[in-house]
A and B are shown apart, each in its own frame.
Chain A
Amino acid sequence: METVTSDEQIVERALSGDGEAFGEIVRRWERRIFALAYGMLGREEEARDVTQETFLSAFRNLRGFRGEAKVSSWLHRIAVNQCITRQRRAKVRNESALEDETEADGASYSAPAHLSPARAAESRERTEVVRRAVSALPAELRQVVVMKEFEELTFQEIAEALDLPLSTVKSRLYTALRQLQMRLQNMASEVA
C-alpha cells in the first residue's frame, strides 16, 4: 500500500538535502499555481512566468519556511504576491495587459467539441466577458475569487494563505461576487 507523504514532510526532506524533494512539491502544485496565476493575470504567458517565479522564490526561501502554515498556503501567498507585483509593474508601464490583448487571449480558448459553431461562439463570447470582469476587480478581491473558484480552496485555506481573518475572506468574496454580478450585467447589456 502506497503511503501518502504530506507536503510538510517533503519540505523537511528538501531541507535535509534531498535534491528530489522540491521537484515533488513542484509537481504537486504546479498546475494549481498556474491556475491561480492565470485567474489573476488573465494571460497564459504571464501565468507561466509567475508559476516559475513562484517556485523559484519558494526554493530560494525554503529555509525560511517555518511550518506554521501549510506548504500550499505558503505557495499560494507567494504566487499572489508575484501576481500583484507583476500587475503593479504593468500599471507603472501603463500597460493594461489584461485589456490590451483581449482578442489574442480570447482566441486561445477552445470551446467544447460537442457544441455547434454558434453555441461555441456564444460560449467564447461569454467567457471573454467573464475574464474581463474578473480582471477588472481590485486585486484584493480578485485573488479571493481566483483562489476560491480556480483552486477551490476552502475559506480557511484562503485565510491562511493570505494571512487574513476568516470573516474578511468571506466578506471580500461576497463583495467580489456582487461587483462581478454588476459588471457582467453591464457587459452583457453592451454586447446586446
Chain B
Amino acid sequence: MKETWDKTMKESAGAKECARAEDLVAYLYHEATATERNDFESHMRQCASCSEELAAFGGVREAITEWRNLSLGSFASPSLEANGARVSPTTNPNPGRSALAALRQFFALAPLWMRAATAAAVVAFCALMAIAVVHFLQRPQTEVVEKQVKSGYSEQEVEERIAQALKREKESQVEVEAAVSPERVADSEQPNARPQVNLDRPGTTRVATKGKQQPARRNRVRPSTELVSTDYLPFTASVDEEKLPSLTDLVNDAN
C-alpha cells in the first residue's frame, strides 16, 4: 500500500495544472451534478494532467482520512460524552434537564481564567451592593435627625422663649434697683465712683477703701451667667440721676 501511495504521489507531483481545477475538486468530492460529471469524465479522457491529479488527490484523501480516523477515534468527546450525554444531531437525549444544570454544564467548559474573572465580578458586585445597602440605610436616619432638630424649635416656641427671657431680665433688673438704691447715693459721693452703675447684686461683696480714694473694686462672684448681661448696662437712669442738674442748666447758670 505504501509503495502504491508513494508512486501515485510521485507521478502526479509534476503534473501541470489544468484550467478545470474546480471541476476536478467537485468531481473528487462527489459534488458535481450528473451533467458535470459526464462532462468532466469526457474531459479526463483527453487530459492526462487531470487524470493523474485525480488519482493523486484520491491518495491524499485516503491518507487524511486515515489520520482523522486514528486521531479522532482515539479521543473521547471533550466533555459531554464523559458525562454520559449522547451526541446526536437530531434528538434531545435529556429533555428534562434544568436550567441550572445546563448552566453548570456550560461553565464546566469554561477555562480557568473565565472562572476567575466570573468570581472576581461576583465579588465586586457583592461589594458594591453592600456599599449601596449601607448608604441606603444611613441616609434616611440623617433625614430623621434633621427633621427632629428642625421640629424642636417652632417659631412660636422661639418667640415664647424670647418673651420669657425678656421678662426675667426686666424682673431681675427691677429687683436689683430696688434693693441697692441707698448704697448708690453713698457711692456717688466718692469722686471716682461710678455714678450711674448699680453693680451690687445678691452674692457680691463690696471692698471698703477708706482714705485711699480708690474706687471700690468689685470682688463679686457672679451667681449665674444671667447676670453677665447686666454688668455692662451703664447709663441706666435711676431716680437719683433724674434729680441731677442737666449740663444745659449748668451752662446757663455759669453765664
**Majority secondary structure of chain A interface residues (helix, strand, loop or mixed):** helix
Minimum distance in angstroms from B218 CB to a CB of chain A = 89
Report if A5-B92 is in contact (Cβ < 8 Å); known contacts: A34-B78, A181-B12, A184-B9. yes
One digit per residue, 1 when the CB lies within 8 angstroms of any chain B CB and 0 when it does not, for chain A 95-138 equals: 00000000000001111000000000011101101110010000
- Kindly state whether residue A26 has any CB partner on chain B within 8 Å: yes
- Report the stretch among B22-30, B135-143, B181-189, B238-246 that lies at the interface: B22-30
Q: In whole angstroms, how far apart are the Cα atoms of A163 and B54 in the complex?
A: 27
Kindly state the interface size class of chain B when it binds its partner. 35 or more
Asked if residues B77 and A30 are in contact (CB atoms below 8 Å), the reply is yes
Asked if residues B25 and A52 are in contact (CB atoms below 8 Å), the reply is no
Return chain A residues, CB-CB under 8 Å to B88. Answer: 27-28
A: number of interface residues (CB 8 Å): 61
Q: In whole angstroms, how far apart are the Cα atoms of A150 and B73 in the complex?
A: 12
Residues 1-30 of B contacting A (Cβ, < 8 Å): 2, 5-6, 9-10, 12-13, 17, 21-22, 24-26, 29
Q: Choose among A19, A34, A39 the residue that contacts B77 (Cβ–Cβ < 8 A).
A: A34
Minimum distance in angstroms from B94 CB to a CB of chain A = 8
Q: In whole angstroms, how far apart are the Cα atoms of A35 and B88 in the complex?
A: 15
**Majority secondary structure of chain B interface residues (helix, strand, loop or mixed):** helix
Asked if residues B110 and A52 are in contact (CB atoms below 8 Å), the reply is yes
Return chain B residues, CB-CB under 8 Å to A30. Answer: 77-80, 87
Asked if residues B10 and A150 are in contact (CB atoms below 8 Å), the reply is no
Asked if residues A174 and B91 are in contact (CB atoms below 8 Å), the reply is no
Q: In whole angstroms, how far apart are the Cα atoms of A134 and B71 in the complex?
A: 14
Q: B residues engaging A (CB < 8 A)? A: 2, 5-6, 9-10, 12-13, 17, 21-22, 24-26, 29, 31, 53, 56-57, 59-61, 63-68, 70-75, 77-81, 85-93, 95, 97-100, 102-103, 105-106, 109-111, 114
**20 additional contacts (CB under 8 A) given A19-B103, A171-B22:** A19-B98, A19-B99, A27-B86, A28-B88, A28-B89, A34-B72, A38-B72, A44-B71, A48-B78, A109-B71, A127-B70, A127-B71, A130-B67, A170-B21, A171-B21, A171-B25, A177-B57, A180-B64, A185-B10, A185-B13
